[in-house]
Structure 1
Amino acid sequence: MTNHPASAVPIAQIRLALDDAPGEGQPHPAHDISAAARIGDTLFLGADECADLEVLDLVGEDFAAHRRIRLGEAFDLPGGPDEEMDIEGLAVDAGWLWVTGSHSLTRKKPKKSKPLDDHGLARLAHLKQRPNRMFLGRLPLIETSQGRWDVALAPLPDGRRPQMLPIGKHGSDLYKALKKHPLLGPFCALPAKENGLDVEGLVVDGDRVGLGLRGPVINGWALIVEAHIAPASETPDEADLALAGDLKLHVLDLAGLGVRDLKRRAADVLILAGPTMKLSGPARVYRWPGWTTPVPADLLHRPEAVIELPHGQGADHPEALAPVRHGGNEALLVVCDTPSPERLAGGAVVADVFGVEG
């Protein structure tokens, strides 16, 4: 039997003051944060049900000074600027903020106001591909004041500009490669949370892009898909990214869990692991050493479990990681999806801080 650490207790809590009202008809982002990335004193957040980024700056001991970035102002999104992108991964690397959607299908649901009858079952048979979910792109990071950062929505004098993998009628080249992959392809026809393809983590090192999969979990093992993504041309005005070469799979023994988020920590990767299906737990953080070093021939990795995270039942599901400092030491901010009422106050949501040793 695999030994796991005892359930951790947060060493602190941080208030994320998402005080601005969302757009009409959109849920408040405090209720469904699904991705996080920090640089300096700035925290970038992504949510499930929109195509926006939420940005906060460190103010005292909390993150506040909320502002919203509409990704439709930087990119020609195939589903339009208001269709949800299901942002599930954010990563900071070498002057860029990378963003990925889940690349997952959705299943039509029975109406909540009615009993499950034949018509409700028929609705379940309908699957939908939402093109904005196929998004993978990056935005130039710019330091606006000491320790505080923003992203550019237009080309900069240094030649950097917003870039994305083009998304056509059948998805991006990355999505087409996933569908053609002999192991992953069959799972592209299944919805998220039903062991279908579901990207829920992003880690970047130059042109190496790692996509952590919540699903599928195959043979009890989780998967990280590595792709090489680079500008399609050296021409400064070239706006698009391109997939170069074949996909590479990294197989991880996470005790049957899938990947819920990824974060670089020096040469290592911290993995937030959780259930693939719609379950509340368990949830834990693993350390995968040496991702930036040459990959050994063995594709199966057994990362070390370093934090057993508390979780609620039907609420408070650990969903996003961001490195922070607490008391002069490295720590890890954990943001929960479906927060319990105790975590919510106005437009703010409370996130937990855990110590990370080693």
Structure 2
Amino acid sequence: MRAPDQTIHIGLNAPPDGSVESEAIRESLSSAVRVGRHLFLGCDETATLERVTDLGGGRFGEHRTYKLADLVDLPGKADDEVDVEGLAWEPPYLWLVGSHSRKQGKAKRGMDFKEASEALADVDVDDNRYLIARIPLEDDPEAGGLVPRKSCPDPRDPERTLTAARLRGRGRNSELIRELSGDPHLRRFIKIPGKDNGLDVEGVQVDDGRVFLGLRGPVLRGWAVIVQVEPVDAKGGGRMRLREIEAGGRRYRKHFLDLDGLGIRDLARDGDDLLILAGPTMDVSAPAGVFRWRGGMRVQEESLVPADALERVTMLPHDVQGGSDHPEGMCRFDEGDGPRTLLVVYDAASASRRDAHGVTADVYALPPRPGVLGTVVETLTSFVTRDGEG
């Protein structure tokens, strides 16, 4: 396990209107994406989107919370949790994805057998979890920077209007679930709770309209799964549909990856490469780490990616204090021409990461991309940056 190269503090102390506790936000971070001087964050216990701003000195603050129901027509009730598990930025849209998973009750310490057995038999299906959406961001100086909007002018073409939209279908009848219900690999896992190796989407990355969905589960005999789709505007506004991308009219593509038996917790882009945050699928203590799929963002067909085709970038802290510190979200953290870095945020952050105002997250320097030229350029960039600081 590698120590982080830097630690930052994320101030999260401004609940929206009393309907969500700040502490709940701090304890349930599940996704992150950097957009300029802002970090947008998702939580797996709320129906909100969080924004913090770079204050310098390794601190992010000026916390703002945006209700997702004010931005997009949610499949379920406005305050029902969305379980935001992935965020991605492809200008001019911020993309987000819910887990698409069923939620099983927990047997907790102190329960008797009857209470525990009833909890374990309770499986909920929350419509808001079945969400794939895009939301435009608008630069609003009065609001302190980029703000998510239901609609706004396109900064590249003011005569064009950008609109928020979600994939059509409601809840478990979403178009993605309808497509996967006939899949020979995934259909049997749709009704299994996510934490029991059932279907569980936990990462998203977008490239030119192609949306990559990383699955925490199922892991199939050690193989993790990425589902690739291409949402396009549907008639009527506010909705997207899946475009046909495979023979026979299939609207999705699959990629199988050998991540040492781990599932996918998040995805991030590094040039043409896809970085994969991997961790245990089920509720067990197991390693967590980041892998590199070289050329993953440019893949044009379904693929099987063996372990020797994946680079292990770094191992991460996991369950360092027993039941806490779960690496759940990551994003590229660097700006401009400086050394490339990766930010990792933790769900169930340990007490050492939390204070009354926020949480800490880890920053890791990324090794040079494969290739002689990339190594030389990045080494020189790193040297010049360090020299300028010293």
Distance change >3 Å, CA 124–CA 63, structure 1 → 2: same
Q: Does 1:303 align with 2:303?
A: no
What SS class does the counterpart of residue 180 from structure 1 fall into? coil
Quote the Cα distance in structure 2 between the aligned partners of 1:70 and 1:128.
22
Residue identity opposite 2:279 in structure 1: G
Shift of 1:46: 0.3
Distance change >3 Å, CA 330–CA 111, structure 1 → 2: closer
Matched-pair contact (CA < 8 Å) for 1:110–1:116 = no
More helix by share: 2
Matched-pair contact (CA < 8 Å) for 1:259–1:273 = yes
- With normalisation by structure 2, the TM-score equals 0.84
What SS class does the counterpart of residue 329 from structure 1 fall into? coil
Q: Does 1:279 align with 2:284?
A: yes
In the other structure, the counterpart of 1:228 is 230
Quote the Cα distance in structure 2 between the aligned partners of 1:163 and 1:148.
22
In the other structure, the counterpart of 1:72 is 69
Q: Does 1:252 align with 2:257?
A: yes
Q: Does 1:99 align with 2:101?
A: no
In the other structure, the counterpart of 1:190 is 192
Identity among equivalent positions (%) equals 39
What SS class does the counterpart of residue 298 from structure 2 fall into? coil
| Unpaired segments ≥5 residues, structure 2 | 245-250, 369-390
1:175-217: CA deviation from partner (whole Å, max 9, x where unpaired) = 1112221110000110011100000000111221111000000
| Unpaired segments ≥5 residues, structure 1 | 1-6
Quote the Cα distance in structure 1 between the aligned partners of 2:328 and 2:360.
13
Q: Does 1:24 align with 2:23?
A: no
Q: Does 1:217 align with 2:219?
A: yes
Q: Does 1:150 align with 2:147?
A: yes
Of residues 128, 134, 139, the one that matches 1:138 is 134
In the other structure, the counterpart of 2:362 is 352
Quote the Cα distance in structure 1 between the aligned partners of 2:297 and 2:107.
45
Shift of 1:297: 6.3
Matched-pair contact (CA < 8 Å) for 2:151–2:163 = yes
Distance change >3 Å, CA 319–CA 110, structure 1 → 2: closer
Distance change >3 Å, CA 24–CA 112, structure 1 → 2: farther
Quote the Cα distance in structure 1 between the aligned partners of 2:228 and 2:208.
12
Matched-pair contact (CA < 8 Å) for 2:214–2:226 = yes
Quote the Cα distance in structure 1 between the aligned partners of 2:8 and 2:292.
23
In the other structure, the counterpart of 1:163 is 165
What SS class does the counterpart of residue 34 from structure 1 fall into? strand
Bigger radius of gyration: 2
Residue identity opposite 1:331 in structure 2: T
What SS class does the counterpart of residue 193 from structure 1 fall into? helix
Q: Does 1:44 align with 2:40?
A: yes
Quote the Cα distance in structure 1 between the aligned partners of 2:81 and 2:63.
20
Residue identity opposite 1:193 in structure 2: K
1:299-343: CA deviation from partner (whole Å, max 9, x where unpaired) = 334321111112213111111102113993111111111111111
Residue identity opposite 1:15 in structure 2: H
Shift of 1:280: 3.5
Quote the Cα distance in structure 2 between the aligned partners of 1:149 and 1:283.
32
Distance change >3 Å, CA 169–CA 287, structure 1 → 2: closer
Matched-pair contact (CA < 8 Å) for 1:274–1:282 = yes
Matched-pair contact (CA < 8 Å) for 1:135–1:167 = no
| Number of residue pairs matched by the alignment | 347
Of residues 5, 11, 30, the one that matches 2:5 is 11
Matched-pair contact (CA < 8 Å) for 2:7–2:362 = yes
Shift of 1:155: 4.3
In the other structure, the counterpart of 1:4 is none
What SS class does the counterpart of residue 325 from structure 1 fall into? coil
Residue identity opposite 1:14 in structure 2: I
What SS class does the counterpart of residue 21 from structure 1 fall into? coil
Distance change >3 Å, CA 68–CA 126, structure 1 → 2: same
Matched-pair contact (CA < 8 Å) for 1:231–1:240 = yes
Shift of 1:129: 1.1
Quote the Cα distance in structure 2 between the aligned partners of 1:12 and 1:305.
20
